[in-house]
Copies of this chain bind each other. A is one copy, B any other.
Amino acid sequence: MTAFIGEFNCKLDEKGRLSIPSKLRAQFPEAVGNTLVVNRGFEKCLVLYTKEDWLDETAKLNAVDDFMSPDIRRFKRIFTNGANLVQIDGAQRILVPKKLLEYAELSAEVILVANGNKIELWDQAIYESELNVDAAEMSQLAQLFHQQRNQG
């Protein structure tokens, strides 16, 4: 599994193209070729995967049997339905599908945040508010994390 690192300020041009910072591009395994997968994130952001990692993710999803419940089927459908293949062009850019642009409310100033096998794409303003926590809230979050990790 790939493990991407980095946070990058990027710009979307008028055509909705996002140029991938060379430092991030350099982290792609050779095998990636020129294809990525973009999907909606849970929050107001998009998520990029290599095609391989995306297939792994969906494989995990599909390991859960559809017979189980309507909710399972619904979740799988919704989760998968935003996914799009995108091509990296000669200038290391991808064209972000319009629907997804709108979903994540992306303006010209965006942020790419890599962590693990996911690369999140945020509008800069929204990202900053997402990260803006005061100390009290932070320690609450930490506590929650602690609990949930131990529940597993």
Q: Which residues of A contact B (CB under 8 A)?
A: 3, 5-7, 9, 23, 27, 37, 42-43, 51, 54-55, 58, 62-64, 66, 68-78, 80-85, 99, 113, 115-116, 120, 130-131, 133, 138, 141-142, 144-145, 148-149
B residues within 8 A CB of A84?
5-7, 23
- The reply to whether B37 and A131 form a contact with Cβ atoms under 8 Å apart is no
- The reply to whether A131 and B7 form a contact with Cβ atoms under 8 Å apart is no
- Picked from B51, B99, B113, the residue with its CB within 8 Å of the CB of A9 is B99
Q: How many angstroms between the C-alpha atoms of A148 and B115 in the bound complex? A: 29
- Picked from B81, B133, B142, the residue with its CB within 8 Å of the CB of A131 is B81
- The reply to whether A3 and B55 form a contact with Cβ atoms under 8 Å apart is yes
- The reply to whether B64 and A148 form a contact with Cβ atoms under 8 Å apart is yes
Known: A68-B148, A148-B68. A81 touches B7 (CB 8 A): yes
B residues within 8 A CB of A113?
77, 80-81
- The reply to whether A58 and B9 form a contact with Cβ atoms under 8 Å apart is no
Known: A3-B55, A64-B149, A116-B58. A130 touches B74 (CB 8 A): yes
Q: How many angstroms between the C-alpha atoms of A112 and B68 in the bound complex? A: 23
Known: A43-B73, A145-B72. A62 touches B6 (CB 8 A): no
The winner among A5, A73, A116 for most chain B CB atoms within 10 A is A5
Residue pairs across A and B with Cβ atoms less than 8 A apart, 28 shown, are: A3-B55, A5-B51, A5-B54, A6-B85, A7-B82, A7-B83, A7-B84, A9-B99, A27-B85, A42-B66, A42-B73, A43-B73, A58-B115, A62-B115, A64-B148, A71-B141, A72-B145, A72-B148, A74-B141, A75-B141, A75-B144, A77-B113, A77-B130, A78-B131, A78-B141, A80-B113, A80-B115, A81-B131
